[in-house]
Amino acid sequence: MLRLRRNDVPPLVGAVAAASALAFGSGQGLLEALFLSILFLPLVIGVLSAVRSGRRALRERARASVVRGTAGATAAAVAVAVADERRRMALDIESIVRVAVQRIATLADATAHASGIASPTAGEEREQLRRLSAIQAEGRAATGELRRLLGLLRAMPDEPLAQMPVDSTEDNALRAPRPVPSRGDIVLAGLAVATVVVDALALGPTGVRVGVVQVLVTALAASGVLVWRINPGLGSGLVALFAIVGMVLDQPLVSGLWMVLTPTLLLWAAIARPVRDRTTVAGPVAMLAAVLTSQWLFSRENTPITVVILAVAGLTGAAFAVGDRSATRARKETAQHDLRLSRAAARAVAESRRAAARELHDSISGSVGVMVTQAGAAELLWDKDSRRAQEALDVIRCTAAAALSDLDVLGNGLADSSNEPEDSAARGLGDLPLLLERMRRGGLDVTTEVRAEPGDVSAEAGLTAYRVVQEGLANAMRHASGATVHVTVVARDGELRVIVTDDGPGARGARHGGYGLTGLGERVHRLGGTFSAGEGAEGRGFRLVAVLPLDPAIMRAPTRERVIR
């Protein structure tokens, strides 16, 4: 944009000095020196604007070149974002989940230790029951905090909600035209009209007669500079119109300093303007034709200087436009790279949060639910069947220890940003016997058909199979008390098929809502398998089915996730 800056002062002063020296050197007077100075100033300003535009383009292109040459920075920035997010998740899990599980484990240990007393007093019995109630309260509170934390982890959007600005400008008002002329435009138009009057008065002593109509027509043409920011094509058309009116009325435009302001500025703006339409093109063409024709017919001696002024304005406007467009393209390229970087980081962070949510839910939520259920059972059986109450208490202790171990593994997985949290999990097919035994000790009737060895499947497939079985057993214990659960884990024909069915009351809302089945579907889908959950045979019970490919080449190949609600 044509705007003076502090570092523009020296070249402008030099232009005035050069014009004065040229005038005085050729024997001209003070008025001629002033005229040349005023003539030189706009031209120098136009050249400075073109130079600034070119420099800006070079800076932006250099910046874009640096961005193109640092492709690895994207991966590094994404890794930093993921690592930071994992540290925050680890702190949340440590402060919210581990503390609750540790309290439950401490209460269970204290209860188990006190239960070994041969002849407990009534107060000790009440304290035991209070601890069992406290375990249930801690478990329910932990479940609520877990659901809140899981909701936050899964609420992360895949991409930024707002796109980054693709284009930034550097004081270029032409990119955002004003709806109305500014104060500066009004002052500029007033100055152009004033120069018309001054030029007309200056011609009087030379013997050139200038009529009122001629001054009025020229003043109206000069006032076209008022809209040079808003619509230079329209302003140029007005100058052409009044130039034609003047020629028709034999009242040609007065030659003078206003030519330096209005036609040159309108032509410069029309060429430098990034928007192209019919008015922007037709207006300047008409103005050039009308003004030069008027000069040739009525003031031929001024035609060369007019051509020079308009040519310089056109050339500097074109140079400004080239530099500005080059800078804009470079800025867009840089901004698009930044946008891609932000989106990649957001997607990576979101996937990391989802992976942590899956592992947190599958390894901890089910365990907390089992502990709450067993604490309630122990409380009911405390005075009736001490042996079964003690078994339920042992299940709580074992489940709490397993949950704390899983939290350690999850914490280590979050600390290692090179893998997903679940990739570091230590569970697999080899852990199924302990899981089944723990559930049986908790009162769940489980039958199994396992025809797969840990060495037959990958670690990821083994972990996913373990989590499917764990979720099915935990759901049956919570929602299908007294039901029989059958677990099938079979590896054949290049597939690992995992099926968990029970003969409980069926697929109630609590059985297939929440985060559990969503996370399982994501796990299976991530490995290229299929997953379904819904009613069992003949509409009875509940059934989970996961089919995972055993071929490593198929692993992680996405397939359409299928979850039966």
| Contact by Cβ (8 Å): 521, 544 | no
Q: Which of 49-53, 126-130, 175-179 has the lowest mean pLDDT?
A: 175-179
Q: 15-29: per-residue pLDDT in tens?
A: 556 656 665 566 655
What's the pLDDT at 5?
60
- Please report where in the chains the tokens 């009087």 appear, as a residue: 204
Q: 488-532: per-residue pLDDT in tens?
A: 999 888 889 999 998 877 655 444 455 778 888 888 988 889 999
Instruction: Look up residue 512 and give its amino acid.
Output: H
Interior angle at CA 543, CA 540 and CA 544, nearest 5: 170
Select the more confidently predicted residue: 312 or 83: 312
Q: CA 432 to CA 463: how far, in whole Å?
A: 10
pTM of the model: 0.52
Q: 166-218: per-residue pLDDT in tens?
A: 444 444 444 445 568 888 889 888 988 988 888 788 766 565 677 888 889 99
191, containing H or E segment: helix 183-203
Q: 284-326: per-residue pLDDT in tens?
A: 899 999 999 988 888 888 788 888 888 888 888 887 888 777 7
Mean confidence (pLDDT) of the chain: 76
Q: 113-122: per-residue pLDDT in tens?
A: 776 655 667 7
Eight-class DSSP state of 213? H
Q: What is the 3-state secondary structure (H, E, C) of 103-147?
A: HHHHHHHHHHHHHCCCCCCHHHHHHHHHHHHHHHHHHHHHHHHHH
What do you get for the CA distance between the two ends of the chain, in Å? 62
Eight-class DSSP state of 98? I
- Token readout for 373 is 């259920």
What's the pLDDT at 488?
93
What's the pLDDT at 463?
87
Question: Listing from the earlier edge strand, what are the strands of the sheet with 495-502?
Answer: 445-451, 484-492, 495-502, 542-549, 530-535
> How would you classify residue 245: left for phi > 0, otherwise alpha for psi between -120 and 50, otherwise beta?
alpha
Select the more confidently predicted residue: 34 or 375: 375
- With cut-offs at 50, 70 and 90, classify the pLDDT of residue 163: very low
| Contact by Cβ (8 Å): 359, 410 | yes
What's the pLDDT at 447?
92
What's the pLDDT at 238?
92
